[in-house]
Amino acid sequence: MMEYITLKNSDIKVSRICMGGCPMGQYGWGDVQEQELLDTVNVAIENGVNFFDTADTYGLGKSEETLAKALGEKRQDVVIATKFGVRVENGKTFYDNSPAYIEKALTDSLRRLKTDYIDVYQIHYRDGVTPIGDVVDALEKYKAKGYIRSYGLSNIYEEDLNELKSFSGKFVSMQDEFSLACRKNEFELTDLAKQLLLTPMTWGSLGQGVLTGKYDINASFGSNDRRSREIYVNFHGEKFRKNLEIVEKMRPIAENHNVPVSAVALRFILDYLKDSVVLVGAKRPSQILGNIAATDWCLTDDEIKELDLISK
Ligand SMILES: NC(=O)c1ccc[n+]([C@@H]2O[C@H](COP(=O)([O-])OP(=O)(O)OC[C@H]3O[C@@H](n4cnc5c(N)ncnc54)[C@H](OP(=O)(O)O)[C@@H]3O)[C@@H](O)[C@H]2O)c1
């Protein structure tokens, strides 16, 4: 059975497994088939997932369009989180949180998502220029008009706390990278999330796939897959080897609980960050089912300790 929580400062109830929208962008994640993506959304819903995360920048709008196509009439039954703040123009990518750009980004997202409202509208990255107060004022205006139900943060770090402190209680959520392959944002997803009174969400929860148990040291990716690039550290060098050691530790635990390895990786987050939402990308129905298998059971304290130690 799916587990649910209510996002802080809101009455928005979401499944703790959120289907991530990167693969729906159909760009930079290897081969993906649109029909399989549409089926994946529907299988997710049939199995209790009511939360979908996307961004205007994933596939330059394609992810939002694909999600809308998959949902159709079911849009009212689910919670949609999308993001703004990354602009791509004339082949250049830059961050923009200005109120003028928010208006354009919101109008475009609503059109692509074929909806009158966005449930959680997230600042994808801070632009380092626009004062957060101006961003919040703009978001409050759109909330009052009913275009968004709530707003959230993403890619926020310890050094941002000072600026954000006076807005605690305003944002419902914050996304940062976190998994057994990436423990560096633990302060943000625990202490900082508490101070800002918001729900922590983890992205890259499977380390971009490395924690599923299906890759070995000879794994290679085509030029249409960003994981071929060395900045995707989880699949390169020493870090890749370390990740494969973590996978070997997970195998007997997965067997013990009769679940796939991916479910152990996600269960660790659900148990370790108790009030969190886990975002996880899936390309086909079997993947989302393997990820939903993370719900409705717990790791033992010893298993959590073992995975905690090996991944630090
Ligand atoms: N706020 C941000 O800046 C930010 C950044 C990144 C992501 N996100 C969000 O977080 C979500 C999750 O992150 P992510 O998609 O980058 O990475 P992820 O969830 O760690 O990995 C997803 C990939 O793992 C593989 N996979 C998933 N489930 C599997 C299963 N059960 N068995 C085998 N393979 C499986 C698939 O790729 P293969 O089959 O090709 O291996 C899939 O594309 C995103 O979709 C997005 O919504 C947010």
Percent of the chain with pLDDT strictly greater than 70: 100
Ligand 1 centroid vs 247 CA: distance in angstroms? 16
CA distances from 260 to 26, 237, 256, 257 (A): 25, 25, 10, 9
- Helix intervals (H) in 114-160: 132-144
Is residue 262 situated within a structural domain? no
Can you give the pLDDT at residue 285? 98
Is residue 119 situated within a structural domain? yes
Annotate 45-75 with b (16+ C-beta within 10 A) or e (fewer): bebbbbbbbbbbbbbebbbbbbbbebbeeeb
Is residue 162 situated within a structural domain? yes
Catalytic machinery residues:
58
Report which ligand 1 atom has the smallest distance to the Cα of 154.
Answer: 1
Can you give the pLDDT at residue 146? 98
Query: CATH number of the domain that 201 lies in?
Result: 3.20.20.100
Is residue 305 situated within a structural domain? no
Whether this prediction's pTM lies above 0.85 is answered by: yes
pLDDT beneath 70, residues of the chain: none
Can you give the pLDDT at residue 270? 98
Is residue 255 situated within a structural domain? no
Is residue 65 situated within a structural domain? yes
Is residue 69 situated within a structural domain? yes
- Count up the domains in the chain and report the number: 1
Handedness of CA 107, 111, 117, 119 (dihedral sign): negative
Can you give the pLDDT at residue 78? 98
Instruction: Give residue-wise pLDDT tens across range 92-132.
Output: 999 999 999 999 999 999 999 999 999 999 999 999 999 99
Query: Is 207 a pocket residue for ligand 1 (Cβ < 6 Å)?
Result: yes
Mutation to probe ligand 1, out of 280, 284, 291 (largest number of atoms < 8 A from CB): 280
Q: State which amino acid sits at residue 180.
A: L
Give residue 115's domain range.
Answer: 4-210+273-299
Ligand 1: residue whose CA is nearest its atom 29 = 287
Query: Is 213 a pocket residue for ligand 1 (Cβ < 6 Å)?
Result: no
Is residue 217 situated within a structural domain? no
